[in-house]
Amino acid sequence: MYDVTRRQLMHLGVGAAGAAMLSGLPVPARAEDQTLALYNGQHRPPVEALVAAFTAATGIAVVTRNGNSAQLASQLIEEGANSPADVFWSEESPSLVAIAEKGLLAPLHADTLQQIPAKYAARDGSWIGAGARSRVVVYNKSMIEESALPKTVLDFAGEAWADKVAFAPNSGAFQQQVVAVSLLKGRDVALAWLKGLRQYGRVYNSDSAAVEAVEGGDIAVALSNNYYWYALEQELGPDNMNSALYFMGHGDPGTLITVSGAGVLKTSKKAEAAQRFVAFMVSAEGQAAIVGAIAEYPLRPGVVSSFPLKPFDQLDPAPVTPADLGDAAEALALLREADLA
């Protein structure tokens, strides 16, 4: 998780009231005496920025319980009808699918769903994407030329890449990539890919750790989400970066679009306020708050990221939607078969 200071929130345009709320200072009286309970598995900066903007706009306060998306989904399933949560914001869509399949999410309002392209939301309207990210290859510019990188992510599982590729099997985004390989190339190919990565690659605990290893020259290449590299670029400065991003494109699973997103709990006692929160996430103001705090792509047309992202319409990603990925249970089964879980 990233940390955001009060000064940074002010820089993002959150405003004094929102920054005061997050830093423990007195908050102006609310227009509505309501407090929403948000279970949050997403990185904190975009959530804190969005919450502050929402409260400033509506007067509705939000109390956040932060944790791992998959663990929070399990907690919501265990709590069932007794859950205090009003909204679940997940870093990854499979956790939303998992609780939707248990019947825990209420249908979102139709006008909310219409704010973004339908392929980035649940087919039944139970959850919606709030931001998108791309799977990428991060490479060390001193250790390898971009021209030497393969045209497909599947090639990284071969002997030619022995001890040159970092990957994080416990990353939810990597697991979604495994599902995409299985959907596009077949289960046998996906299993062979994982076995090859286990044999020739190097396992890291997280995407961010893998990216930092590439930047530090410990390994040549990493499979990651794009925003971990941008977070490091912000920290070190663009002119000081030893690494760069490589997008495979041409429909390869090496360039997979995944989303963070949210849904309203069916058991929420503040359903209208919860629906209002999710609607605000995909409003122009909400999307600007989110993508101003993390290098995700906005899903609402017309909103522009402040980060120098490769244009979304130039990614040419794998033809797999978040809904296609399901709950990613197939990935866990494949990882176990490959002795990676």
Count Cβ atoms within 10 A of the Cβ of residue 31 and give its class: 0-12 exposed, 13-18 middle, 19 or more buried.
Answer: exposed
CA distances, 305 to each of 49, 146, 243, 282, 311 (Å): 14, 26, 22, 14, 10
**pLDDT value, residue 14:** 40
Q: Which residues of the chain have pLDDT under 50?
A: 1-32
**pLDDT value, residue 16:** 38
Q: Which amino acid is at 32?
A: E
**pLDDT value, residue 28:** 41
**pLDDT value, residue 33:** 63
Q: Quick one: CA torsion of 183, 95, 312, 181, rounded to 10 degrees?
A: -20
Q: What is the rounded CA–CA span in Å between residue 83 and residue 104?
A: 10
**pLDDT value, residue 34:** 86
Region of residue 275 (left: phi > 0; alpha: psi -120 to 50; beta: else)? alpha
255 close to 317: Cβ distance less than 8 angstroms:
yes
35-40 and 87-90 as β-strands: parallel, antiparallel, unpaired? parallel
Q: What is the rounded CA–CA span in Å between residue 246 and residue 285?
A: 31
Query: Mind listing the pLDDT tens digit for each residue in 257-286?
Result: 999 999 999 999 999 999 999 999 999 999
Query: Mind listing the pLDDT tens digit for each residue in 189-198?
Result: 999 999 999 9
**CA neighbor of 91 nearest in space, from 162, 41, 32, 135:** 41
Helices (H), the chain: 6-11, 16-23, 44-58, 69-79, 93-101, 110-113, 172-185, 187-200, 207-215, 226-236, 271-281, 284-291, 322-325, 329-337
- What are the residues whose beta carbons fall under 8 Å from the beta carbon of 86, sequence distance 6 or more? 36, 37, 38, 264, 265, 268, 269, 270, 271, 273, 274, 277
Q: What is the rounded CA–CA span in Å between residue 215 and residue 153?
A: 20
- What are the residues whose beta carbons fall under 8 Å from the beta carbon of 304, sequence distance 6 or more? 298
